[in-house]
Structure 1
Amino acid sequence: MKKNIALVILFIICTYKAFAGDLLGMICNESNRPLEMVNVMIRSPKDNRVIAVTETSANGKFTIRTLNSGTYILKCTRLGYQDYNAEIKMKENENLDLGRLIMPQTSIQIDEVAVVANRNVFTTDKQSIYPSKLQVEQSTGGLELLKKLPIPLLDINPISRTISTLDPQGGVIVLINEMPSDANDIAILDPKRIKKVEVIRNPGMKYGSNLAMAVNIVLYNAEDGVSAGVNTSNSTKIIYGYNNLFGTYIHKNSQLTISQSENFQNSSNQISDDLRKYLLPTGDWQTIHIQTLSSRAVSFTHGTTVKYNLTVPDKYVFQAIGYINSHRNPKNNRSDLISGDGLSGHMSETNIRDQYLSPALNLYLKKNLPKNQTFMFNIVGTYISSNYDYSYSTDKSNFKSSYVVEGKKISAIGELRYSKNFQWGAIASGLRSFYGNTTNLYSGRTQSKPQMRNLNSDIYVQVEGRWKQFSGRTTLALNDQCYAQNNEKYHKVTMSPQISLNYSLASNFSLGYGFNLVSRLPSLAHLNGAAIQLDVWERKIGNPLLQPFNHIENSLSATYYTPKFYGMISAVYASNKHAIMPSLIRSENLERISFDNIIRNERDMNQVALTAYLRYAMLNNKLVFSATGSYNYFNAMSDLYTNKRGFFFGDLSIEGYIGRFSFLAGLRSRYNSLFAETVWFNEYTNSLSATYKYKNFSVGLTWEQPLQSSGTNNRIETKNDYVYKLVKNINKEAGNHVLVTFSWRWNHGFKSKSQEADVDNRDTDSGILK
């Protein structure tokens, strides 16, 4: 039966292709010189729907594969040249060569508004954003440019160099020319090198698991040359800084890039107010109040990356990347005053030292095969050496707790993927596998040596298709998960289907639906079987009996856009059966009463998220308003509690441009959330920033929490049948705080080589329970 079905599918594909042909052509200027990077778009004459989009290569040529027979509208555009429009007719089973097409250069100054309509192009499988000249000129790096673009629910902080998403459906991966990159890689990009940014929502398994979106930054092709520069953001109070030094050399098909990042944190005015109530076996409640008297934390993070890329156009891409990342936390001390029932004037001291070293090697090969086929192989080897030292003591009760953890981890991640593009879509299938061996040696008050081994593999098939106003993406994955720790082990095989559908009601209005069922794995740190005494009253305990759980998700979305207005609304319902959640329980079978922080598979964790995004541009895009609002409802259930809470969230930003100056104002409410028995009330934040940019030099000031001398604050509330905890954290140094940003770069014939690695398989989980 399966054989017959496969033969039928193969017959349909072959028959479909038999009636299709390729469209070829070459675009030149008036001097008959080839024009590269010309946008070539094919539309349906009936509903103006986009059928295919491509670009000319360095020799001015373009090819659109397997167009069905029929009539189409061809439109070729490039800034500074007159548009080329034509009606073309494809015949059955015949290729059409248009020959040489001429696009004269225009001397007319194009108004910003006249071209903005083509800067946000929606096709059936992605959103392509072409940055405007104003956006590029007023950006000092890739992160700042990315923040200026209309990408709903993408949360970017150019100062701290973080990229995340407000989309509850999963995380985000950012790529440069299809190569996964981190925030530091994006920060050092020259905005003038960025041609467009592609946004793919619900990307399936192609770029990894548990992703809500993939953002691909496409760079212009490069000539031989050299680039070097520096990019820094530092606090005037010297409480933190983020600094990059980088250089790139290109010769013919090869590119060598070396980058160094140096970050630090130095805080001495962060305090907490910790109120606890414990239910004792006698039925009485004991109250403990812990207040910070002084604290000091210093940390340094270093990162070195050496990347070599060899790209032979239309043939293959080979890439080798070496990483060395290290972190030192030489000082993390805190003195607290303890009061409460039976306690008066007690003092406690907490000292923490933390460091790790992690070298990694990433090898990647992508081979282009005939008939729009590609084959990819990637392998990453990682070694993590970590050391964690914790000590806690009180004066009057003479209670002491200390332990040291020495961790060693070796891991290997490999992936194979085959893909083929058709006129109607694409098919991809692959195997992704991870093996890790982790040993953590605990000494001191806690003594154990858990050894953890895990092997996780995914086999998947992903199909993307387009038909009239409909488009979609479906993925079917087989997950095999194996884990062993000493005598504890589990083996689980699951199926993970994912579906994403989109319907275009009009050229600027679309509806979407998504379904996702995935198996979520416990982290190595939670699986660690160690038990740690944190203070007089509480312990933290790992749980090697944790099991993966199923995450089921349904989503609806609607998108509407015009040259000035962009809006998106979405609704997501997520259900987690036997979710992995934290609990704080009472243990009575010890020499002393202890309240244990543990992780367990609980009953259910459900969430409803309603989100709206609005963006409006005016005054020729020199004044832009953006806003994100959401309502999140949580329902957590276990044997100890049933917690239901809902929270609103709002984020407003205004950006403006005057000459060489750019300005940004932002206001964000608390992003609150409930997880299990704990509610997080995060900080209110606001900021004002101004940047001056002249050629390749820029300097900027950011005023965080202006006129707010009290700083930022958050609180964490935990409540169940045995415990009530309310922890308030205050960071006075964050208030009324000014940062200085500086950027300079030197380029000589440098843009970017084509780097087409499209996976990010680095391992960063050390597996230590802290």
Structure 2
Amino acid sequence: YAYTEYKGKIQNWGYIANLSLTRFYYSQRDNHSERYGFQPSLLVSYNPVDNLHFRYHINLKNNAPSIAYLNDVEQRIDIQQTRRGNPDLKSFRSTIQDFNAIFSTGIFSIDALVSYAYEKNPIMESVIYEEGMFIHTYENQKSFQHLAVEVTFKIKPWKDHISLSVTPGINRYISTGNNYLHTYTLKELRINLDASYKNWLLSFMTITPPNRYVYGEQLLKGDLMHTLMIGYKQPAWSIMAGIHNPFMKTYRSENANWSALNPVKSDIHSTNMSNTIVVKLNFNLNFGRQYKGANKGIQNIDTDSGILQGTKE
């Protein structure tokens, strides 16, 4: 990455504009590819009065194919299914937009968020039939769209000692392939409760229904999530301990593939669920000369293993 950023403010308006140049190079045997792309981003904020804030963010991205998808290899899933890479995949562009409106007064605040993501010719799965075998491979499809709307209502009835937020939201997914069209709507509700008194901390979070995500012909469903934690803090350190899903004894997760040739649905169901215990410890190591820091606009971390996953989905 090569990255540059410009930040400014004019009266009640603020803006951050940045531009990055990306280079992607891939080589495997006789197959190789080199691609460049510009990724501009713009954040504009407007604060007409103290308790009202607006923000708009747009990000244009150039997405390179996963190294795993580019691998010219085949991997058997079972006696009827095989996963195959595709070295002819092309990069694709995506546009991500977010609009926030935040109003706060006294102990109450409202944060409304509308986001829209559009991908042109994204890389999504395709299923073909060859010589008695279903081949799961990857192709540049037509488009993918994700529209999300949510509103967070937050109340602090006792200064900063108690904070309760409730967030209803709706997600709409549209996957348009070369030979398919899949749509899915998800309604969700998140509740967060944070409390503190003197040095003691309490936190509770829940999301319902189970988290779900659609991409291409895949529907991925997670399990219900509840987290309850208590802790103790000091100026230089804090410790919290808790448990995931303390009120559940059954684990359930569902995945589905909507391919017309080979529709697959898997259901993981266990009544012997063991709750996960979590311990979180924070230290504040503060010494020597201090400088004012800023977060990087891009985290250029390579997390792609390049390994094709031949598992069922």
By the TM > 0.5 criterion, same fold? yes
Correspondence 1:299-318 to 2 at 5 A: none
Match of 1:741 among 261, 272, 279: 279
For residues 480 and 730 of structure 1, do their structure 2 counterparts lie closer, same or farther at Cα, with a shift above 3 Å needed? same
- Take 1:518 and 1:609, find their aligned partners in 2: how far apart are those partners? 19
> How many angstroms does 1:491 deviate by?
3.6
- Take 2:44 and 2:237, find their aligned partners in 1: how far apart are those partners? 45
State yes or no: 1:649 paired with 2:179. no
State yes or no: 1:556 paired with 2:94. no
Q: For residue 722 of structure 1, give the secondary structure of its aligned residue in structure 2.
A: coil
State yes or no: 1:540 paired with 2:80. no
State yes or no: 1:635 paired with 2:192. no
Structure 2 length normalisation: TM-score? Answer: 0.85
For residues 461 and 643 of structure 1, do their structure 2 counterparts lie closer, same or farther at Cα, with a shift above 3 Å needed? same
The one-letter amino acid of 1:594's match is M
State yes or no: 1:665 paired with 2:204. yes
- Residue 483 of structure 1 corresponds to 26
8 A Cα contact 1:700 1:741, kept in partner: yes
Correspondence 1:316-327 to 2 at 5 A: none
- Take 1:514 and 1:692, find their aligned partners in 2: how far apart are those partners? 37
- Take 2:114 and 2:107, find their aligned partners in 1: how far apart are those partners? 24
Match of 2:127 among 559, 576, 584: 584
8 A Cα contact 1:490 1:547, kept in partner: no
The one-letter amino acid of 2:147's match is V
8 A Cα contact 1:488 1:545, kept in partner: no
- Residue 259 of structure 2 corresponds to 720
- Residue 216 of structure 2 corresponds to 676
8 A Cα contact 1:704 1:734, kept in partner: no
Q: For residue 767 of structure 1, give the secondary structure of its aligned residue in structure 2.
A: coil
Match of 2:245 among 693, 702, 705: 705
The one-letter amino acid of 1:688's match is L
8 A Cα contact 2:51 2:104, kept in partner: yes
For residues 478 and 594 of structure 1, do their structure 2 counterparts lie closer, same or farther at Cα, with a shift above 3 Å needed? same
- Residue 621 of structure 1 corresponds to 160
> How many angstroms does 1:742 deviate by?
7.1
More moved, 500-509 vs 477-486: 477-486
- Take 2:130 and 2:15, find their aligned partners in 1: how far apart are those partners? 52
The one-letter amino acid of 1:639's match is N
The one-letter amino acid of 1:596's match is I
> How many angstroms does 1:477 deviate by?
3.9
Match of 2:72 among 511, 529, 544: 529
8 A Cα contact 1:577 1:605, kept in partner: yes
The one-letter amino acid of 2:44's match is L
Correspondence 1:338-377 to 2 at 5 A: none
> How many angstroms does 1:478 deviate by?
4.2
- Residue 462 of structure 1 corresponds to 5
8 A Cα contact 2:107 2:159, kept in partner: no
Q: Which digits, 9 at most, give the CA deviation of each residue in 1:467-516, with x for residues without a partner?
A: 11111122344444443332223343444332221121212212222222
> How many angstroms does 1:675 deviate by?
0.6
Match of 2:286 among 751, 756, 763: 751
- Take 1:570 and 1:678, find their aligned partners in 2: how far apart are those partners? 26
> How many angstroms does 1:587 deviate by?
1.9
The one-letter amino acid of 2:16's match is R
> How many angstroms does 1:762 deviate by?
4.4
- 5+ long unaligned stretches in structure 1: 1-431, 433-457
> How many angstroms does 1:625 deviate by?
0.2
8 A Cα contact 2:243 2:278, kept in partner: no
State yes or no: 1:510 paired with 2:60. no
Q: For residue 263 of structure 2, give the secondary structure of its aligned residue in structure 1.
A: strand
8 A Cα contact 1:660 1:692, kept in partner: yes
For residues 532 and 517 of structure 1, do their structure 2 counterparts lie closer, same or farther at Cα, with a shift above 3 Å needed? same
Q: For residue 526 of structure 1, give the secondary structure of its aligned residue in structure 2.
A: helix
Please state which structure has a larger fraction of its residues in helix. Answer: 1
> How many angstroms does 1:728 deviate by?
1.0
Q: For residue 709 of structure 1, give the secondary structure of its aligned residue in structure 2.
A: coil
Q: Which digits, 9 at most, give the CA deviation of each residue in 1:55-78, with x for residues without a partner?
A: xxxxxxxxxxxxxxxxxxxxxxxx
- Take 1:680 and 1:480, find their aligned partners in 2: how far apart are those partners? 31
Q: Which digits, 9 at most, give the CA deviation of each residue in 1:437-496, with x for residues without a partner?
A: xxxxxxxxxxxxxxxxxxxxx4x4432221111111223444444433322233434443
Match of 2:229 among 664, 667, 689: 689
State yes or no: 1:473 paired with 2:16. yes
Q: For residue 253 of structure 2, give the secondary structure of its aligned residue in structure 1.
A: strand
Q: Which digits, 9 at most, give the CA deviation of each residue in 1:653-703, with x for residues without a partner?
A: 222234543322222112222111111222112233333557878765524
Aligned length: 304
For residues 473 and 696 of structure 1, do their structure 2 counterparts lie closer, same or farther at Cα, with a shift above 3 Å needed? closer
8 A Cα contact 1:485 1:544, kept in partner: no
- Take 1:678 and 1:666, find their aligned partners in 2: how far apart are those partners? 27
The one-letter amino acid of 2:260's match is D
8 A Cα contact 1:471 1:502, kept in partner: yes
Q: Which digits, 9 at most, give the CA deviation of each residue in 1:720-766, with x for residues without a partner?
A: 2201111112354545x262637597x9xx52443759655443433
> How many angstroms does 1:597 deviate by?
2.0
Q: Which digits, 9 at most, give the CA deviation of each residue in 1:499-557, with x for residues without a partner?
A: 22112121221222222222111111111111111221211111111111010233322
- Take 1:721 and 1:495, find their aligned partners in 2: how far apart are those partners? 37
The one-letter amino acid of 2:264's match is K
For residues 744 and 544 of structure 1, do their structure 2 counterparts lie closer, same or farther at Cα, with a shift above 3 Å needed? closer
Correspondence 1:125-274 to 2 at 5 A: none
> How many angstroms does 1:643 deviate by?
0.5
Q: Which digits, 9 at most, give the CA deviation of each residue in 1:412-456, with x for residues without a partner?
A: xxxxxxxxxxxxxxxxxxxx3xxxxxxxxxxxxxxxxxxxxxxxx
8 A Cα contact 1:583 1:598, kept in partner: yes
The one-letter amino acid of 1:601's match is N
- Take 1:504 and 1:490, find their aligned partners in 2: how far apart are those partners? 46
> How many angstroms does 1:627 deviate by?
2.5
Query: Percent identity at matched positions?
Result: 19
- Residue 392 of structure 1 corresponds to none
- Take 1:559 and 1:742, find their aligned partners in 2: how far apart are those partners? 31
> How many angstroms does 1:571 deviate by?
1.3
8 A Cα contact 1:660 1:694, kept in partner: yes
Q: Which digits, 9 at most, give the CA deviation of each residue in 1:324-357, with x for residues without a partner?
A: xxxxxxxxxxxxxxxxxxxxxxxxxxxxxxxxxx
Q: For residue 547 of structure 1, give the secondary structure of its aligned residue in structure 2.
A: coil
